[in-house]
A and B are shown apart, each in its own frame.
Chain A
Amino acid sequence: MASAIIEVTDLEHSFGDVKAVDKVSFTVEEGEIFSFLGPNGAGKSTTINVLTTQLPCQKGIVRVCGFDVRTNRQAVKKSIGVVFQDEVLDRDMTVRETLEFHGRIYSMPRSERLARETELIELVELEQKLNVRTKHLSGGMKRRLEIARGLMTRPRVLFLDEPTIGLDPQTRLKIWDYIKGINEEGTTIFLTTHYMDEADTLSDRIEIIDYGKIIATGTSDSLKNTLGEDMIYLQTGDDDRALGLAESMSDVTGVKKTSKGLELILSADGGRVMPKILSSIGKESIEILSVRMKKPSLDDVFVHYTGRELRAESAENAFHRRRRH
């Protein structure tokens, strides 16, 4: 029976008038990969900052590894590892020095430090770069180094704030492998990401947060199932009339008009519902231009819950912000 390693109850955090986190409650079980999803500015990093004691816990109760972040900050810090959203590296220190520095400020004994360094450098495949300054590493190598650093102290929980932002597909796959490997060895992972495929592949459980509030929670499959059995994308000669027709049909739980046509969410098997829909639209002599059916993806779940409007900051900008000026 797994036990809760992170317990958050009614957490609130404000920056002046901005309520970044608004009465958030959730738990993370020991040994799982937990994903925190949400649009830009949803409050993910703020939550991580409170959980990792970087920000004070203004309101609510937060326990990490059994320790209260308010009264037992040191103990929390000792039992966790953090990979920040922004790049946090000394550009003029070498890869080896970066890990060495980290091990030392966490008071690791020398022998353990050296053993871990060798082990982790191998894990993230930076053996060739040991004596290279971090400014000469590629973006993916920097990220791998930061992940290795987060693991130096064998933390019970590793916080990864957008670990694969701006990386190429190969590097992302590699990093997923590391994350899975680390998790199999027993480290609980707290992950945020804007890549739904990443969350889908890695997570045991997902919470979606928006405007500081948790709006959906479950496993990837259960979230997809709550959305519907199947989805149909439809383009017709007269979307407005088709929309009216579709809405009135049973087994259609949601219809949305997008720039590309209509998006239908079905509560029953699409293979049986689709002919009925198409024939009723055909009867009204509305031309059908294209039709496509698929299972809901995590992307659909995300858009369904958080809407389509753009947020203050696009993922693209967030990536540029991460890079140095």
Chain B
Amino acid sequence: MGREFLTVYWREMIRFVRFKGQLFAALVQPALWLLLFGIAMTSNFDSNPFAMPTIPGVVSVDYLTFMAAGVMAMTALFTCLFGGMGLLFDKNWGIMKEMLASPMPSYHIQIGVGLGGVTKSFIQVGLIMVFGLVLGVKFFLGFSALETVFAVLGIFAFIMIFSAGFIFLSAGLAMRVESMESVQAMMTLLTLPLMFSSNALYSTSSFPVWLQTISSVNPLTYLVNGIRYFALGNDFTAMGTHYEYTGGEIALSFAVLLVFAGLTFVFAWRAFRTAKVT
């Protein structure tokens, strides 16, 4: 395979750093969210004694720490869900025609854009994590240095697969539709249910069954599981819920995300293979 996808990636990154306002918003927004939402909710939940029955011997996690994992996951979701939007611009007002007329196979565009999405997710998630730790998020508590490195790698592996899945989804959609409005509508339609049917901000254990079913096919849930497992360990309580993860469950979560990324890869690959702009 040629390396032309690196050129597409190079351009993605040029565009990422070139729009200073957008870059600033992309980096500051999740941090702000963590700061305002996290601290507001923490002071609400953590002061309510009924919400926090603790189990002796099990780590009890405060809300800020609990939701930090969720904010990291949601940031990756938003970044990638809207990450394919650039392709729609390229189709209508940009250089998609040039790329499709070149001998570069069109899946290189997909891979380049995918790498771009993953990189952007990494940068944002990394920043939130650091910012969160500064704010008092208690990740990696009692971990040795080596364990911490391993945990961070685990988190990023989850972020990578999840981001790839969503960037392919949005790239595939962008290549199939004509207008900005229709993608935007689709994205808005997708984000809210994805966010609120997941375990990013609260426990799903008291959901009605139908909502639990939705939650269990929601990739966001699996990403959050992965992050919490690596950041908080396999046994903790938060907001009155006892979380116990086994290695098998986490492997399964990863597998689910892999399948999701595989499906969206094919979805995007087909869209690129038949793409034409005239």
Q: A residues bordering B, Cβ < 8 Å?
A: 45-46, 49, 52-55, 74, 77-78, 82, 84, 86, 88-93, 97, 101-102, 104-107, 149, 324-325
Contact = CB atoms under 8 A, between A and B. Distances in A.
Contacts of B2: 107
B97 A77 contact: no
Among B8, B14, B99, B103, the most chain A Cβ lie within 10 Å of the Cβ of B103
A80 to B, nearest CB: 9
B102 interface: yes
Interface of A is mostly: loop
Given A89-B95, A91-B93, A106 B11 contact: no
A54 B100 contact: yes
Contacts of B4: 104-105, 107
Contact of B276 (A55, A93, A324): A55
B102 A106 contact: yes
A77 B93 contact: no
A25 to B, nearest CB: 22
B98 interface: yes
Contacts of B7: 101, 104-105
A149 B95 CA distance: 12
Interface residues of B, number: 27
A46 B10 CA distance: 32
Given A55-B276, A107-B2, A101 B11 contact: yes
B133 interface: no
Contacts of B19: 92
Interface of B: 2, 4, 6-8, 10-11, 14-15, 18-19, 90, 93-95, 97-104, 108, 276-278
B98 A102 contact: yes
A55 to B, nearest CB: 6
Given A49-B278, A74-B103, A107-B103, A92 B95 contact: no
Contacts of A91: 93-94
Contact of A324 (B18, B93, B101): B93
8 contacts: A54-B277, A77-B102, A88-B98, A89-B95, A92-B15, A102-B98, A105-B108, A106-B103
A149 B98 CA distance: 10
B14 A93 contact: yes
B184 to A, nearest CB: 17
A104 B3 CA distance: 9
Given A55-B278, A101-B7, A107-B4, A90 B95 contact: yes
B159 to A, nearest CB: 27
A54 B10 CA distance: 25
B237 to A, nearest CB: 49
Contacts of A55: 276, 278
Contacts of A107: 2, 4, 103-104
Contacts of A54: 97, 100-101, 276-278
Contact of B97 (A46, A84, A92, A102): A84
A78 B102 CA distance: 7
A107 B211 CA distance: 50
A93 B10 CA distance: 12
A102 B94 CA distance: 13
